[in-house]
Amino acid sequence: QVQMVESGGGLVQAGGSLRLSCTASMFRFSIRTMAWFRQAPGKQCELVATITSSTDTNYEDSVKVRFTISSDNAKNALYLQMNSLKPEDPAVYYCNTGSGVSLPWGQGTQVTVSS
């Protein structure tokens, strides 16, 4: 069974950086459009960034310039480099497919930003 595993979250001061990672068993990232999502308390899940199999990327407006999505096919890993973190960025971050049928959701990784 496919299992997504996110890591790299934590507590960081506003303006700081974090790098999130995602790996998955029994699934190859390179064949699908992949994405990072986030869900803050009391809010709907939000699409943050996507990367296609040809490495075209797209970002939600509030994270453009600050966040970078990337993938490493050799490691079968997905990353989200988050710079200049803001007080509105805290959430649980998840990775999943960016199109078509979703895979089983992982536990996510918590990002907290202190002002």
pLDDT tens digits, one per residue of 46-63? 999 999 999 999 999 999
Percentage of the chain with pLDDT > 90? Answer: 83
Mean pLDDT of successive 10-residue segments in the chain (115 residues)?
A: 93 98 88 94 96 95 97 93 96 93 93 94
pLDDT at residue 48, as a whole number? 98
CA–CA separation, 113 and 18 (whole Å) = 10
Tell me which H or E stretch contains 81. Answer: strand 77-82
Q: How far is CA 3 from CA 65, 94, 103, in A?
A: 30, 12, 8
Strand partners, 93: 38, 109
d(CA 75, CA 23): 8
Rounded CA separation 15/113 (Å):
9
Tokens of 98: 């960016």
pLDDT of residue 1: 84
